[in-house]
Each structure stands twice: as C-alpha cells, then as structure tokens.
Amino acid sequence: MESLVEYYLDPMNQIVHISLSIDRYAKNTALLARDLGISRSRLASVLANLENMQVIVPSKNGYKNTYSKHSSPERIQSLSRMVHSASDLSAPTPPESLQ
C-alpha cells in the first residue's frame, strides 16, 4: 500500500511509467529525459523508484512494464479504498480568532 501512495504522490512516476509503454522510450531513456525536459539523474531516480515499486523491470531492450501487479482487482480495490478514505477527511476548522 505504501508504494501505491508513493506512486501517486509524485506525478513524474506516472508520466515515466506510462511513457515506458512507448518502445522508443523504453529502449532509450536519454530520449525520454530529453522529451520530458528533465535531467538524466532525475529520470534515473524515478526509474529506481518504479523498479522498487515493482511496476517496471529492466530488460535487455530497456525497461518493461509489469502491469499485472498494479492492475489486479485487489490493487484497484486498495486504491479505491485509499482514495475514498482521503476524501472523507474534512479540512480542519480554523481557530475562532480567524473566523
């Protein structure tokens, strides 16, 4: 669950993850960094995070997505519960002196 939260906290995780489904980016991460306008070191950090989350794996031709882990019904239900519990949180009430 923690890795799922981490995945969504940094939008670059999602952008890189989806971009890796495009062959030219999966095979050439320098091209991906250039087209996204980020440094290679920033991309390397995102790739390492995605590997740790087990949503991508290195392959002989670059990177490969592992969709099944995050698109299983259990993962989708887990995400749904997390989103609903976050939306149930109400904003804190400001002190009376600020109202």
Cα–Cα distance between 56 and 66 in angstroms, integer? 5
Task: Give pLDDT, residue 69.
Answer: 46
Reported pTM: 0.66
Task: Give pLDDT, residue 70.
Answer: 46
Task: Give pLDDT, residue 6.
Answer: 87
Task: Give pLDDT, residue 99.
Answer: 53
Domains along the chain with CATH numbers = 2-76 (1.10.10)
Task: Give pLDDT, residue 3.
Answer: 74
Rounded average pLDDT per 10-residue block, the chain, 99 residues: 82 94 94 96 96 92 75 55 55 58
The beta strand positions in the chain, using DSSP E, are 56-59, 62-65
Q: Which residues contact 1 (CB under 8 A, 6 or more apart)?
A: 78, 82
Task: Give pLDDT, residue 77.
Answer: 58
Q: Which residues contact 70 (CB under 8 A, 6 or more apart)?
A: 4, 7, 55
